[in-house]
Structure 1
Amino acid sequence: MPEFDTSHVKNIVLLGHAGSGKTTLAECMLFEAGLLSRRGSVYENTTVGDYHPLEQERGNSIFSKLMHTKWRGFKINILDTPGYDDFVGEVLSALRVADTGVMLLNATMGVEVGTEIIWEYTERFKTPMILAINKLDDEQSDFDKTVQQAKDNFGSNVTVVQYPRQQGAGFHEIIDVLRMVMYKFNDTGGKPDKLDIPDSEKEKAEKLHKELVEAIASNDETLMEKYFDQGELTEDEMKAGMKKAMIRHDLFPVFCLSAERNMGSGRLMGFIDNVCPSANEMPPQITNSNEELPCQENGPACIFIYKTISEPHVGDLSFFKVFSGTIRTGMELINESNGVNEKINQLFLMEGNKRLPVNELVAGDIGATLKLRNTHVNNTLHIKGKNYELPPIEFPSPNMTVCIEPVNKGEEEKLAQALHQLREEDPTLIVEVSQELKQTLIHCQGDMHLAVAKWKIENLHKVPVKFGKQRIPYRETIRKMAEANYRHKKQSGGAGQFGEVYMRIEPWYEGMPEPEGLNVRGREVFNLDWGGKLVFYNCIVGGAIDTRFLPSILKGVMEKMHEGPLTGSYVRDVRVSVYDGKMHPVDSNDISFKIAGIMAFKQAFQQADPQILEPINAVEVLCPEDLTGAVMGDLQSRRGVVEGMDSESHFQKIIAKVPASEMYGFSSSLRSLTQGRAKFKMHFDSYQPMTYELQKKLIEEYNKSTTEVLA
């Protein structure tokens, strides 16, 4: 029998901007529950959560961690997450399996940009949320300002449950308006004394208590009627009402903390036990086939893989949540994505980097297992006879791209294996081998994300690597009509080669009229893999070229469009009309007309006012108002066009279009300019013509590079 049934398992995720105190709070919770005899410190690299050497080196969380503790008859699974947006994949994975989020707000900074971004994800998942205002012992702390910013950002459902009697170095008393008591801590924190609320605070406490009761009652008609009849609700009624409202994402209670001094964590844990929902109290999961999957320990076994890490000398460790049934060692489950039969040989509870073996896990619990053969993040495993597939985690698009290569020649295969392993562990890191650019590319969330990837490759896989600029996928096109002809003639021993092609090329656009002055015999339209179109016309009259050679001419044109005449970039949006030519009864063949097609297209292209198109990214930057000038200046220095600004809560959103070639290093520059107080996202928007000066420079660089290669 498992130690805890489903209703006594609580899953919480600690969220917040970097430096808000999540790892320190997790340490307090483990200490308060008696699992630790001494609280570790982030500064001394002694916490259970930040055990990875890279985290200890950098002084902040990089990976999400699973820990658990026991508190007054309940098991609390704690998911500690990083605060930097570069590691958003770790946050989303943890949110997918948590039943309650605890958002830590730094009382000295208020609602920060990172907090705002994470909140958007909680809205997507409709995660019940607690707001915990931390660092109230700091001299610069401002509880009221932080609460007001929370209301401005997250809505009027933000409701105070606790407030500090004093802030700064003297912080040691918290007034709880749910229980209407005051908690008084000694200097070392820990368990407080419960005291009556002082007369000087009664008016404020009663006002906030009334606001809390009204907020709870407004979300429940039965409680509203009781409140109107009796003018008050009991503590149990308030707790029941808060749970319902939190599940509906209609109430966000505010608590007070000093995690550093261990003040307030015990009361927060008590609230998690008493009020926060268990997995079986949350709405049932909806499978991809629109079937409800209630969280019941006697239901059909079903687990969801939310995270994978590779442990040296051990193998892949898969983290999962049991969404239905009871999972036991030795059980066989089916991977719905690929039909592979997976055997659960071992089950573990996790305590940071420590694995604690268990024999079974019930619905609602979170654990880990080793060496699943063909199972990855976002896979659903279930018992035979079912076809459950749970919705996957949707990870954000990358914000940064660089090329990567090994420092030492001959280690390309080792690097490929390392990159494959990184991709398995981190779905937000995308590896691409670009045939167009002839580079291996890493697409990631930012420079910190990239630094972590480099550390893993070099320290775990022992492959020294170097990063470089991604080549830009330019496009080439034309702006006017041009004609050219080319005769390919080659005579040597045996059969010769002969083919002559007359060709007209024009810039293609939707709805353009048929070629003027030509007799159209056939038309083919090709949607190009790289965007745009090629429209190919057969306008041959009198049998000047046999129709059997037209596919060879088309093949030659298409080959040249793969490597444009100006910079070797793909060509797009061109109409080609073959209208005349000559052939030889003996020497004409497919290769002759292919070469003639290539050369005629190249000559015509050079005469048709060729134009290089560059990719333009749509960029959105979220930053405090006092930093907008510096950010806009940086974007404009990158040839960016600022298209507008918008307010988003108490932040400013700058909307701009910036050439992709100018975005290299923007992540680092933005972090430096704003001290990490701004975030950005971008995506490809369109291709736009380059200026003459830039086009000329690009062509000269290309010609120089090709000359050097030939030399």
Structure 2
Amino acid sequence: MKVYQTNEIRNLTLLGNAGAGKTTLAETMLYEGGVINRMGEVDNKNTVSDYHRVEQEYGNSVHPTVLYTEYNGCKLNIIDTPGMDDFVGGVIPALSVAATGLMIFNTVNGVEVGTEIANRNAAKFHTPLIFVMNHLNHENTNWDMSIDSAKAAFGNKLAIVQYPVNPGIGFNKVVDVLKMKMYEWPANGGEPKIIDIPEEEKEKAEQMHNELVEMAAENDENLMELFFEKGELTEDEMRTGLKLGMLERSVFPVFCVCASCDMGTRRLMEFIINVAPHPGELAPKKTVNDKEVKADVNGPTSLFVFKTSVEQHVGEITYFKVMSGTVKEGMDLMNTTRNAKERISQIYAVAGKNRTKVTEMVAGDIGATVKLKETKHNHTLSDKDANYKFPSLQYPEPRYRTAIKAVNEADEEKMGEYLHRMAEEDPTYVIEYSKELKQVIVHGQGEYHLNTLRWYLTNEFKIDIEFLKPKIPYRETITKAAQADYRHKKQSGGAGQFGEVHMIIEPYEEGSPAPSMFKINGKELKVNVRGTDEHKLPWGGKLVFCNCIVGGSIDARFHPAILKGIMEKMEEGPLTGSYARDIRVFIYDGKMHPVDSNEISFKLAGRHAFSDAFKKAGAKILEPIYDVEVLVPSDRMGDVMSDLQGRRALIMGMSSEKGFEKIVAKVPLKEMNKYSTSLSSLTQGRAMFTMKFADYEKVPGEIQDELLAAYEAEQDEE
């Protein structure tokens, strides 16, 4: 393979709903470019993309697949992405390195939920889009409905470059209103005849041509002046206008294909090469230090790693984009994320599991290498002198959680290793080893997403696992001041143990001053705070430890032991064993023995005194509350609102956003169990939501009673 220069490279990602035909279109593009000599089919499980066993079993994409094809002297790097929102972890890295998105539509269904979600993701990266209308040979295809639904969803941004003459069974003709020609394919697709537009289509074609000219002219003042002057634009001038509109996302050119029949793909690739931006035409990327890096072959070499995966018989494969300069075989680069040296021993152009060895790649190209020691997803490799480091990709917060356990205890360690590997390949898996809950919690984007994790563990790694209901990380706190004292005394021959601690505890709020007087059970207690230590707790909140000892009733050397005893009880709250938080403790009196007092005695005295005081201080359980945003079609608003209210949601606001209703609410984590599945069921998959931890709040009384009873039963069982 030749070394393609920056202006000969186009980086594309295929987007759209599952079943729109992304994988089949990729197959056709590779076939037309001569990368493969025979087209595979998804149903036959022999496509270049979707080559993983899980994808062949599911019948749709699960992982982003890196591909390339060569056409008209250019290299087209293609990333085929999953169409289901559960696998958004494959869409984000693809959008981060691609300059253009091909949004594939199934013209039987028009705009689908996956189309809308893919567009939202593309908008975050400001990715130009080309709309590709597929399945035009299906008996139920509906071109007019598809265009109307696209206009409703995307506004007047559709620039129709082609329309089908005979959609449905026997489809084989389109009119191209940019070239003002008709394309007609033989029954088996491939190379079309390019002929004059027939008389019966001329009026419609001319009208649509004029509309396209106007849309192209609107994107540039010079083009607009030419248009007013001549009433027309040349094909090259129209391309210029369309490119400018695409870069601003104010124009979405529309093309017709029948991917399974290899109709329309050549013309689409020709347009991509002529109009889609090459990497050198894009705005420079910024490093974490705000340095601008342009895709310049003469700049220092830098690579951004957007994906890693482990392949059988190969090991770990590292996928990168050349951000600047030229990368060559045998080159040494610095991993600026890990501050470690790496040698690029081999470079590959990748088409699924097929790899073509190349000697070098220039700025803007996408490739892969193997056997890197320290480099992972989101890392930067750079010339040592340049020391570039690009920002990490940001992924959405998890929306679904479950506890996971190996059926065979001996497999627990191996399961942990494979979970870690899966999370490296797909960063939207978050693995949490919770000491607090005594569970391994797996977080993901939805039930389907986590069931895919289960599929891998069971089928690829041969580990039997079970999903369990995840526990909720409750917290405990107090609502009023309370006093307690405890004497620890033990005598059993020789030196004994003795320690006595008197303490007051009260709720702590950030910034609140420590009082000097308490009234507890009708009795006034005065304290004189001589020293304060604030301890920020790893699980949130604070413990404030106030030394109020006067007259040396407890020696200062025993204070750390008292604090340790309190902290042990904070780690296992008296109500349900959950972490306690936001408490201020005053140690105001006590006793010690000149011989028998020691650290263990005061640790135990402090622990018991704290536990007794806690139970008298209006103890309450706190539950985690999440900020939840739901985007829902207006016709499903009532159902979704009712469901949220049944989940103890506090509705914070409602608004409209791009054709959807947005609900903002605060919802307890306990009530969000399997919400993604329920929301999908309520809205036929048309709604989406995000959730993010907000704070802890007190649980209602009846819920607290349930939790206390459940904890008591659990303790009895143990």
Instruction: Give the TM-score normalised by structure 1.
Output: 0.94
| Matched residue, 2:520 | none
Give the residue type in structure 2 aligned to 1:378.
N
1:11-410 equivalence runs, <5 A: 11-169=11-169, 171-410=171-410
Alignment partner of 2:578 out of 569, 581, 596: 569
**Residue 529 of structure 2 corresponds to residue 520 of structure 1:** yes
Separation in structure 2 between the aligned mates of residue 234 and residue 200 of structure 1, nearest angstrom? 24
Separation in structure 1 between the aligned mates of residue 390 and residue 288 of structure 2, nearest angstrom? 6
Separation in structure 2 between the aligned mates of residue 50 and residue 322 of structure 1, nearest angstrom? 25
Separation in structure 2 between the aligned mates of residue 293 and residue 686 of structure 1, nearest angstrom? 39
Describe the SS at the equivalent of 2:39: coil
Give the residue type in structure 1 aligned to 2:223.
L
Separation in structure 2 between the aligned mates of residue 298 and residue 579 of structure 1, nearest angstrom? 72
Give the residue type in structure 2 aligned to 1:588.
S
Q: Is the 8 A contact 1:631 1:673 kept in 2?
A: yes
Q: Could you tell me the percent identity over the aligned residues?
A: 52
Q: Is the 8 A contact 2:477 2:583 kept in 1?
A: yes
| Matched residue, 2:522 | none
How far is the alpha carbon of 1:29 from its aligned partner? 1.6
**Residue 544 of structure 2 corresponds to residue 535 of structure 1:** yes
Separation in structure 2 between the aligned mates of residue 661 and residue 42 of structure 1, nearest angstrom? 40
How far is the alpha carbon of 1:139 from its aligned partner? 4.7
**Residue 705 of structure 2 corresponds to residue 696 of structure 1:** yes
Give the residue type in structure 1 aligned to 2:563.
L
Separation in structure 1 between the aligned mates of residue 690 and residue 444 of structure 2, nearest angstrom? 12
How far is the alpha carbon of 1:23 from its aligned partner? 0.7
Q: Which moved more, 1:501-510 or 1:143-152?
A: 143-152
Separation in structure 2 between the aligned mates of residue 54 and residue 270 of structure 1, nearest angstrom? 34
Separation in structure 2 between the aligned mates of residue 195 and residue 101 of structure 1, nearest angstrom? 29
| Matched residue, 2:427 | 427
Separation in structure 1 between the aligned mates of residue 245 and residue 94 of structure 2, nearest angstrom? 22
How far is the alpha carbon of 1:35 from its aligned partner? 3.8
Give the residue type in structure 2 aligned to 1:118.
A
Q: Which moved more, 1:322-331 or 1:308-317?
A: 322-331
Counterparts in 2 of 1:599 and 1:657: CA distance versus 1, 3 Å: same
Separation in structure 2 between the aligned mates of residue 515 and residue 532 of structure 1, nearest angstrom? 23
Describe the SS at the equivalent of 1:577: strand
Q: Is the 8 A contact 2:484 2:609 kept in 1?
A: yes
| Matched residue, 2:636 | 627
| Matched residue, 2:413 | 413
Separation in structure 1 between the aligned mates of residue 147 and residue 45 of structure 2, nearest angstrom? 32
How far is the alpha carbon of 1:667 from its aligned partner? 2.7
Q: Which moved more, 1:669-678 or 1:370-379?
A: 669-678
How far is the alpha carbon of 1:50 from its aligned partner? 1.5
| Matched residue, 2:566 | 557
How far is the alpha carbon of 1:664 from its aligned partner? 2.2
Give the residue type in structure 1 aligned to 2:541.
G
| Matched residue, 1:448 | 448
Give the residue type in structure 1 aligned to 2:575.
L
Counterparts in 2 of 1:263 and 1:632: CA distance versus 1, 3 Å: farther
Give the residue type in structure 2 aligned to 1:708.
E
Q: Is the 8 A contact 2:4 2:361 kept in 1?
A: no
Give the residue type in structure 2 aligned to 1:281.
E
How far is the alpha carbon of 1:679 from its aligned partner? 2.4
Q: Is the 8 A contact 1:2 1:361 kept in 2?
A: no
Separation in structure 2 between the aligned mates of residue 75 and residue 626 of structure 1, nearest angstrom? 45
Describe the SS at the equivalent of 2:66: strand
Q: Mind listing any 5+ residue stretches in structure 2 that lack a counterpart?
A: 518-525
Counterparts in 2 of 1:624 and 1:198: CA distance versus 1, 3 Å: farther
| Matched residue, 2:648 | 639
Q: Is the 8 A contact 1:2 1:360 kept in 2?
A: no
Separation in structure 2 between the aligned mates of residue 322 and residue 50 of structure 1, nearest angstrom? 25
Describe the SS at the equivalent of 2:169: helix
Give the residue type in structure 2 aligned to 1:470.
P
Describe the SS at the equivalent of 1:410: helix
How far is the alpha carbon of 1:148 from its aligned partner? 4.2
Describe the SS at the equivalent of 2:473: coil
How far is the alpha carbon of 1:596 from its aligned partner? 1.3
**Residue 631 of structure 2 corresponds to residue 659 of structure 1:** no
Provide, for residues 306-360 of structure 1, a one-character-per-residue CA deviation record: whole Å limited to 9, x for no partner: 1111112321011111222222222222211123221222221222111222222
Separation in structure 1 between the aligned mates of residue 554 and residue 326 of structure 2, nearest angstrom? 74
Q: Which moved more, 1:295-304 or 1:496-505?
A: 295-304
Separation in structure 1 between the aligned mates of residue 110 and residue 588 of structure 2, nearest angstrom? 71
Q: Mind listing any 5+ residue stretches in structure 1 that lack a counterpart?
A: none
Separation in structure 1 between the aligned mates of residue 313 and residue 139 of structure 2, nearest angstrom? 48
Q: Which moved more, 1:630-639 or 1:304-313?
A: 630-639
Counterparts in 2 of 1:642 and 1:114: CA distance versus 1, 3 Å: farther
Provide, for residues 40-60 of structure 1, a one-character-per-residue CA deviation record: whole Å limited to 9, x for no partner: 221222222121111110110
Q: Is the 8 A contact 2:3 2:361 kept in 1?
A: no
Separation in structure 1 between the aligned mates of residue 657 and residue 149 of structure 2, nearest angstrom? 12
Provide, for residues 656-683 of structure 1, a one-character-per-residue CA deviation record: whole Å limited to 9, x for no partner: 3322122222233333444433322211
Separation in structure 1 between the aligned mates of residue 430 and residue 703 of structure 2, nearest angstrom? 30
Describe the SS at the equivalent of 1:82: coil
Separation in structure 2 between the aligned mates of residue 109 and residue 452 of structure 1, nearest angstrom? 26
Separation in structure 1 between the aligned mates of residue 98 and residue 511 of structure 2, nearest angstrom? 53
**Residue 580 of structure 2 corresponds to residue 593 of structure 1:** no
Give the residue type in structure 1 aligned to 2:214.
E
**Residue 638 of structure 2 corresponds to residue 668 of structure 1:** no
How far is the alpha carbon of 1:477 from its aligned partner? 1.0
Give the residue type in structure 2 aligned to 1:414.
K
Q: Is the 8 A contact 1:478 1:506 kept in 2?
A: yes
| Matched residue, 2:523 | none
How far is the alpha carbon of 1:102 from its aligned partner? 0.6
Provide, for residues 85-110 of structure 1, a one-character-per-residue CA deviation record: whole Å limited to 9, x for no partner: 11111111111111211111232333
Give the residue type in structure 1 aligned to 2:531.
G
Separation in structure 2 between the aligned mates of residue 338 and residue 521 of structure 1, nearest angstrom? 46
Describe the SS at the equivalent of 1:289: coil
Q: Which moved more, 1:273-282 or 1:647-656?
A: 647-656
How far is the alpha carbon of 1:241 from its aligned partner? 2.5
| Matched residue, 1:613 | 622
| Matched residue, 1:677 | 686
Provide, for residues 579-614 of structure 1, a one-character-per-residue CA deviation record: whole Å limited to 9, x for no partner: 222222222222222211111111111111211111
Separation in structure 2 between the aligned mates of residue 106 and residue 30 of structure 1, nearest angstrom? 21
| Matched residue, 1:579 | 588
Provide, for residues 621-672 of structure 1, a one-character-per-residue CA deviation record: whole Å limited to 9, x for no partner: 3333343344344434433344444333233333333221222222333334
Give the residue type in structure 2 aligned to 1:346.
Q
Q: Is the 8 A contact 1:110 1:146 kept in 2?
A: yes
Give the residue type in structure 2 aligned to 1:704.
A
Q: Is the 8 A contact 2:89 2:428 kept in 1?
A: yes
Instruction: Give the TM-score normalised by structure 2.
Output: 0.93
Provide, for residues 158-190 of structure 1, a one-character-per-residue CA deviation record: whole Å limited to 9, x for no partner: 322222334433643322221122223344333
Q: Is the 8 A contact 1:114 1:679 kept in 2?
A: no
How far is the alpha carbon of 1:272 from its aligned partner? 0.8
How many residues end up aligned between the 2 structures? 709
How far is the alpha carbon of 1:3 from its aligned partner? 4.4
